[in-house]
Structure formats: structure tokens, C-alpha cells
Chain A
Amino acid sequence: MKKVLVFCEYTADKIKKGSLEVLSNALHWDGAEVSVAILGAPGKLASLTNEIKNTSAKNIFLVSDESLSTYSPDGYAKAIANLVKENGFQSILGTVSSQSKDFFPRVAIRLESGMASDCTEFSVSGDTIKATRPMYAGKCYAEIDFSKSPVAIATIRPNALGNKELKSGSAEVKEVSANLGGVKAKVLELVAKSGGADKVDLTEADKIVSGGRSLKNSENFKILEDLASVIGATVGASRAAVDAGYRPHTDQVGQTGKTVSPSLYMAFGISGAIQHLAGMRTSKVIVAVNTDAAAPIFQKADYGVVADLFEMAPALTEAFKKALH
């Protein structure tokens, strides 16, 4: 039996989708006793338990401290590491996010333990942990041996495990004071990207519409944005398009950009350089539109159309509108 702690993140008053995905899977593992940790300022966390208190999780720890009113890498690390020490957890899991990527490695050092980042598979059965993670942006996969790690720490890629039913039960909510006595660094201000406030990040997106250098300039990405808005997708880009200045680096899919695994990835005018393919190959369904029938992208795609993207993208936008409304 393993005692597992799931770190849950939230935005406004809701637990993040990715955190629920990890939790919902953990609750189904035979031989895992699962608890949840939510961190923040005192008195602000109780309402976050609504979604998860009627689940089979054992405890929901609301860990608070005045200095956690905003995210703090060292503060979060200390609070989680102390909670793990006090309760004897043998595994700490979280969804891959800017927070977990940032502070989990600190927790690993504090607990003299190892961490596997960005796992695409993770399960506990009895005393056995099975974890797989991509390397080289997905050009290969490695199975992780945690046997020398006192605590098995991992972040899990959004959409990789899939959402399961939140097994019902009644979790006991416990309020814990983190007693941090100050932190070294914390967020002083959060600046949303203009026009991007409600945009789903590529790494969490369920659908992605991506463009390459064939788009020719940044204005032309409008045709992909139109298509994306009809199907609720996020717009991405190849390195060539980013290097040419058509899109910001935040939008880059690939080995030196973001590794994504949406259920639908549509590539327009992307030839399929190895470093791009590495970043999107775990997508469930890949569609490629390219004028060059010999483009390598077609070898990785499920569906292909040899066509001019400037005609095909608007035609698809219309076809989706008809089919969906």
C-alpha cells in the first residue's frame, strides 16, 4: 500500500482540470491511500473542497500561511515537504504546470528523493509504482525506477491519463498551518497576456490548430484563429514560424517549445521537422494540410489533405460551423 498525496492547484474558486485528472485516476488505483493538499492564504481555501470532499480521498489538507497569499516556490516546497514528513506520504503527484514544474524539484531535494517530470503514464498497484515519461521531447520514452527514492515524486502531463470518475466517499478536511515564517520569493504581480486571458495554454489544450512558415506573416494566422475559435482550439506554431516572428515563442510546439498532447492536432503548412514532430506526436488524432504531398508530416498524421492552406483552412472553418451548429 502506498500513501499518495495529490497536490491540487486552483484558479479563482475551482480546482484545475489537470489536478482533478490526476486525483480521479489516483482514486482508482488499488493499493493507494490518496489524500489531497491545497495551499494558500488562511481562510481562503475552504470553498475549494466542494468539488472533491465527496470523494474517496482520505484527507483534504488545507495548508495555509499568510505568506502563501500568492505562489511562492520555496514556500510551497517547504509546506508540502513538511506535510509529507508529518504524514508519511510515499508519493507526491501533481499535474504538469508552471507551479509544479517550478517547486516540485525543491520538494525532492528537501525529501532526499527523486522526481520524474511530465509523466505520460503513472499508476500504483500494491507497492509497485509504474511510471513512464517522454525524453527528447517524445523521441523516446523511459520507464522510471523509483526503488532508491524514499518518496516517489512526479508531475503528470495533462490529458495523458484521461479523466476518470471521482470515486465517491467522504474525505475528511483538515486545516493545517504551514508556519513558514516568511518566504524567499513570491509572486508580486500577475500580468495577463493582452487578449490571452481566457486562452487555454497549449500544454493543456484539448485541440490545437498549428501553423508553419507557409502562413507567410503574422496577419495570416487570423485564418487559423478563426478555425480555432469555431472548435475551441488553441493556436500553435512551428519553430520556423516563431523564428520568422509570426508568433511569440509561447506558441511554439516542438523540442525547443512546448510538448503537447491534445485529442486533435491540426497542422497547416508545417512540413514536419523532427523537432516539431517530437513535440506533438502524442496527440490522439493528427491532421495535416500541406501543398507538398511528400512532406514528412504526412508520415505522422492520421488524416492528410494535399491542399493550399489558404483555401483549406477557411473551408474547414465553414464545414465545422455547419456540422456543429
Chain B
Amino acid sequence: MKIFVCVKQVPDTETKIKIASDGKSIDTSGVKWILCPYDEFAVEEAIRFKEKNSSATITVLSAGPDRVVDSLRTALAMGCDDAIHIQSTENADSFITARALAKAIEKEGPAYLVFTGKQAIDDDAAQVHQALAESLDLAAATVVLNAEYGDGVVRLSREIEGGALEKYELKTPCVIAAQKGMNEPRYASLPNIMKAKKKEVKKMNLSDLGIQETDQKISYSKMTLPPERGECKMISGDVTTAATELVRILKDEAKVI
């Protein structure tokens, strides 16, 4: 019973973004790279599934430059069995990435379940989960808060606007994209971190998977930093005076009330 988890390595949330000299990518020098926080929930969910299903094995996959192997090792240390690194470019779009992941899963499968995070916090595209499912011709649910695993079926809830939940019942194999709160991801223990160093990380090229870089559908022509705001107008006086003044400004000057 093969379980796949697709993950992405992203800059830490505290990263201050700088634009590279080409004007259309970010300057990655000095960036601290982490396993995407949403993908941690996906990894954890796969491990919990395996703990209840002894025949399951978990393969964690990531597409990207060589640095992503570090994040694959993080997932291996948490409890995945082996890993696949798809060597891909820094700015591959969701189309190429989803296709590549799908091809790799087809090659190594058949999959029983595929887990991923609801979005990567770098490009924020939130496309790969469903694009991957479409490429594999599978059912999928995204922004999943909880899932129960039955025999050949997954009953789950996904979060929509206003915190409401949509309930689904998906036949396996299917793709499940985790929302924060789906579980509580574990920390890797030191012995498991050591063991993870010995686990296999298989390398694949895009061309091994029948994909060309020129298959990319969108690219970034220019990147800019958001404009700085003007000076903050500080409102002084006692609380009642300040409140009255602030309300007047919001109503009469800013006209947002």
C-alpha cells in the first residue's frame, strides 16, 4: 500500500524578501529554507495513517533545486520511508510541477493515497494539489481539516468561507491537501534524524518524466516590492478624545466608514 506525500521547500516566514538583479525572481542569498508548514501536516497525516496500516510505505517527493533534499530529509526524519527528488528549476510553474509529480507517482505507484499541503507559502499559488489530482485522474479535496480512513474510502471535511465545512466521501486512490490544524505535526527525534540520513533519496530529472522546461505555461516578467506607506499619523490625547478624533478621520477624511 503506497502512500505519497508531495512537499515543497520554502523560505522561512520571517524572511525579508529581496528582488534579484534580474528583476524577475527573488534573491535567495541568506534565505533560511524550511519544509512548508502546510506540508508538515501532510507528512504527519501520512505517518499517522501508516501507524494504523502496517502494510503502508510512505514516499515523500519534492521538485526543485538540490537544496530541497534537506526538506526531504526533514520528512524522512519525521517518519517517511524513502524520498524522490525531482530535479527542477527555481521558478517552475504549478503546471510543470504537478505534471512532474504525477509522472513520478505513476512510475513508483500505484498510489493508495497522496497527501500534500493546501498551499506553498512562497508563491502562494495553491494549485499543485488539484492539478496533480487532475493529471492522475483522481478525486481530491483541498484545505482538509479532518479525515477518517475506511476501506477504500476517505470521509473528510474541508474548510470553506467563514469556517464552514464541506463534507466529502472520496474513493481511494485520492489526493488530500492538508489545512493547518488537521493534526499536530511531530518533531523528529535525534535518533530518527540520524536514521533519515541513511534513507534513500532517489533522483529524477524532468526529462526522465517526459517533461521539458519549455512546457512551462506561465512565468514572471517582473517582480516588485510593495510600495511603502506614507508616515503613520499618530493620534494623541486621552482615550475618549483620541477615539473621537480617529472616528472623525476614518469617516470624513479616509471615508472608509
Q: Decide: B234 and A304 in contact? CB cutoff 8 A.
A: yes
Q: Which residues of B contact A237 (CB under 8 A)?
A: none
B233 interface neighbour in A102, A137, A188, A304, Cβ under 8 Å:
A304
Q: Decide: B161 and A105 in contact? CB cutoff 8 A.
A: no
In the assembly, what is the distance between CA of A267 and CA of B156, in Å? 34
Most interface-central of B37, B125, B171, B236 (chain A CB within 10 A): B125
Q: Decide: A71 and B131 in contact? CB cutoff 8 A.
A: no
| Dominant secondary structure of chain A at its interface with chain B | mixed
Q: Which residues of B contact A108 (CB under 8 A)?
A: 94-95, 127, 131, 217
B49 CB → nearest A CB, Å: 19
Q: Decide: A281 and B226 in contact? CB cutoff 8 A.
A: yes
Q: Which residues of A contact B220 (CB under 8 A)?
A: 142-145
Q: A315-B243, A316-B243, A318-B243 are in contact. Are A114 and B218 (CB under 8 A)?
A: yes
B22 contacts the other chain (Cβ, under 8 Å)? no
Chain B 238-253 interface 0/1 with A at a Cβ cutoff of 8 Å (1 = within): 0110111011111100
Chain B: interface residue total (CB-CB under 8 A) = 87
Q: Decide: B13 and A255 in contact? CB cutoff 8 A.
A: yes
Q: Decide: A285 and B254 in contact? CB cutoff 8 A.
A: yes
A134 contacts the other chain (Cβ, under 8 Å)? yes
Q: Decide: A302 and B254 in contact? CB cutoff 8 A.
A: yes
Q: Which residues of A contact B209 (CB under 8 A)?
A: none
Q: Decide: A188 and B168 in contact? CB cutoff 8 A.
A: yes
B232 contacts the other chain (Cβ, under 8 Å)? yes
Q: Which residues of B contact A139 (CB under 8 A)?
A: 15-17, 225-226
Q: Decide: A102 and B239 in contact? CB cutoff 8 A.
A: no
Chain B 13-51 interface 0/1 with A at a Cβ cutoff of 8 Å (1 = within): 111110100001010000000000110000000000000
Chain A 228-265 interface 0/1 with B at a Cβ cutoff of 8 Å (1 = within): 00010000000000000000111100011101000110
Q: Which residues of B contact A302 (CB under 8 A)?
A: 229-230, 232-233, 254
Q: Decide: B229 and A115 in contact? CB cutoff 8 A.
A: no
Q: Which residues of A contact B247 (CB under 8 A)?
A: 316, 319-320, 322-323
| Besides A145-B221, A231-B257, 18 new A-B residue pairs in contact (Cβ under 8 A), listed by A number | A77-B130, A77-B134, A102-B142, A115-B218, A144-B219, A184-B170, A185-B141, A185-B168, A186-B168, A188-B169, A204-B161, A207-B256, A256-B180, A263-B256, A304-B233, A312-B239, A315-B243, A320-B257
A-B contact pairs, 18 of them (CB 8 A): A97-B161, A105-B130, A114-B93, A140-B223, A140-B224, A185-B140, A188-B167, A190-B167, A196-B162, A263-B256, A264-B254, A282-B226, A299-B232, A307-B242, A311-B239, A316-B243, A319-B243, A323-B248
Instruction: Using CB atoms and an 8 Å cutoff, list the residues of chain A in contact with chain B.
Output: 71, 73-74, 77, 97-99, 101-106, 108-110, 112-118, 134-146, 148-149, 184-193, 196-197, 199-201, 203-204, 207, 231, 248-251, 255-257, 259, 263-264, 273-275, 281-282, 284-288, 298-308, 311-312, 315-316, 318-320, 322-324
